[in-house]
Amino acid sequence: MNVGLLTGGGDCPGLNAVIRAVVRRVAASGGRCTGILEGWRGLVRKMTMPLTVTETDGIIGQGGTIIGSSRTNPYKNPDTDLTSARNHFESLGLDALVVIGGDDTLGVALRLHNDFALPVVGIPKTIDNDLAAADFSFGFDTAVNIVTEAADRLRTTAESHRRVMVLETMGRRCGWIACYAGVAAGADYILVPEVPVDLRRMIDSLARRRQAGKKSALVVVAEGARVEEPAHDGNLSHESLSNPRLAGIGPFIARTIEKQLHVETRTLVLGHVQRGGAPTTADRVLATRLGLAAADLVLRKRFGSILTYSRGVISEAPLTAENIAARSLDLDYYEAATAGFA
């Protein structure tokens, strides 16, 4: 059996651990694996590399993805001949395709499965932790640890200089990273996309803490947090070829605090540091479990399926629009985390 592997969308720590696990389990059953390079682009253009046990040895702790990734979506490009994906799948001698990606990448897998009977198995992947299929997605733990460490470091320098520090995290449509790291770092305020920003409430809250004697503060804001403010374009989309980009909410929040509280304020936009580097132990283990489970589904020919991760258990589910839908931050959790801010 020849099993193709493809990683699509933004990368995250743990992808190589998934690849390694799939390769090992398939090899143990007498099969082999082929890496499809750079996401769906690789299938459309027929770009591949062999994936052997030897070649994937030692990559469990390596960040990124050795087979590359892209946000290419053949269904969104009118120039793409969709049958090429099916034709290349056949001419490469593939028997199955393991697709590791978020809603967009898995959406293509679903359509190719429906339109061309492509035998696919999906693994949910999102650094933002915003997929319905997974309570926790590999890569999220790593990202949260990176943000928490940055926040801890910001706090000590903020205390020395009696400043406010604003830390902008990833999370274009959901606030899991900001909320988790914000709680872990003891942030004084947390802003997330799911709750429209109430600037007045934030300023009042920070002012009360200052009056009570607290001379520094840490505000954590997710990049997708929304402000209804005509003068602010920070949360507007800036077009890029593949993905709308967000920029500016952190600096905007910092400017607002400085202006209204008259306290020196600095911003750190953490950006792609959150997605780079080695995965944590928890992410390596989860990614490995998912890789092994995906290989098992392939070997049992359970195609048109996706793995879910709920309450610590990995299960098989049908690859449906519902199972690859987006998931917001649990608002009860946000309320609990921010109860002291009011």
State the catalytic residues: 128
- Quote the strand ranges of 12-163, DSSP E: 32-36, 48-51, 96-101, 120-124
Question: What is the Cα gyration radius of the chain?
Answer: 22
Strands 32-36 and 48-51 turn out to be antiparallel
158 vs 192, which CB is nearer to ligand F6P?
A: 192
Which position among 5, 24, 125, 128 is part of the footprint of ligand F6P (CB under 6 A)? 128
Strand order in the sheet with 189-191: 189-191, 217-222, 164-169, 265-269
192 touches ligand F6P (CB under 6 A): no
| 3-state SS, residue 271 | helix
Minimum distance, C-beta of residue 124 to ligand F6P, in the bound complex (Å)? 13
Q: Any residues with CB less than 8 A from the CB of 45 and at least 6 apart, and which?
A: none
User: Of the listed pieces 92-100, 169-177, 258-266, 333-341, which binds ligand F6P according to CB under 6 A?
Assistant: 169-177
Burial (Cβ within 10 Å: 0-12, 13-18, ≥19) of residue 266: middle
Nearest CA-CA partner of 224 in 337, 329, 140: 329
169 vs 205, which CB is nearer to ligand F6P?
A: 169
128 vs 296, which CB is nearer to ligand F6P?
A: 128
Which position among 10, 74, 119, 248 is part of the footprint of ligand F6P (CB under 6 A)? 10
210 touches ligand F6P (CB under 6 A): no
170 touches ligand F6P (CB under 6 A): yes
User: Of the listed pieces 44-52, 164-172, 181-189, 202-210, which binds ligand F6P according to CB under 6 A?
Assistant: 164-172
172 touches ligand F6P (CB under 6 A): yes
Measured distance CA(225)–CA(71) in Å, rounded:
23
Measured distance CA(263)–CA(161) in Å, rounded:
10
Closest CB to ligand F6P belongs to which residue? 170
User: Of the listed pieces 22-30, 78-86, 167-175, 255-263, which binds ligand F6P according to CB under 6 A?
Assistant: 167-175
**Considering only residues 215-254, where is the footprint of ligand F6P by CB under 6 A?**
223, 243
Nearest CA-CA partner of 17 in 59, 78, 79: 59
Angle at 67 between CA 65 and CA 69, to 5 degrees: 70
Please give the C-alpha separations between residue 229 and each of 197, 198, 244, in angstroms, as whole numbers. Answer: 10, 10, 20
**Considering only residues 249-278, where is the footprint of ligand F6P by CB under 6 A?**
275
Minimum distance, C-beta of residue 37 to ligand F6P, in the bound complex (Å)? 17
User: Of the listed pieces 39-47, 170-178, 308-316, 326-334, which binds ligand F6P according to CB under 6 A?
Assistant: 170-178
Measured distance CA(282)–CA(276) in Å, rounded:
16
Query: Do residues 46 and 90 lie in contact, with contact meaning Cβ atoms separated by under 8 Å?
Result: no
306 touches ligand F6P (CB under 6 A): no
Which position among 15, 106, 127, 134 is part of the footprint of ligand F6P (CB under 6 A)? 127
Which position among 39, 64, 124, 171 is part of the footprint of ligand F6P (CB under 6 A)? 171
Query: Do residues 206 and 187 lie in contact, with contact meaning Cβ atoms separated by under 8 Å?
Result: no
User: Of the listed pieces 18-26, 116-124, 166-174, 207-215, which binds ligand F6P according to CB under 6 A?
Assistant: 166-174
Task: Give the footprint of ligand F6P on this chain (CB under 6 A).
Answer: 10, 127-128, 170-172, 223, 243, 275
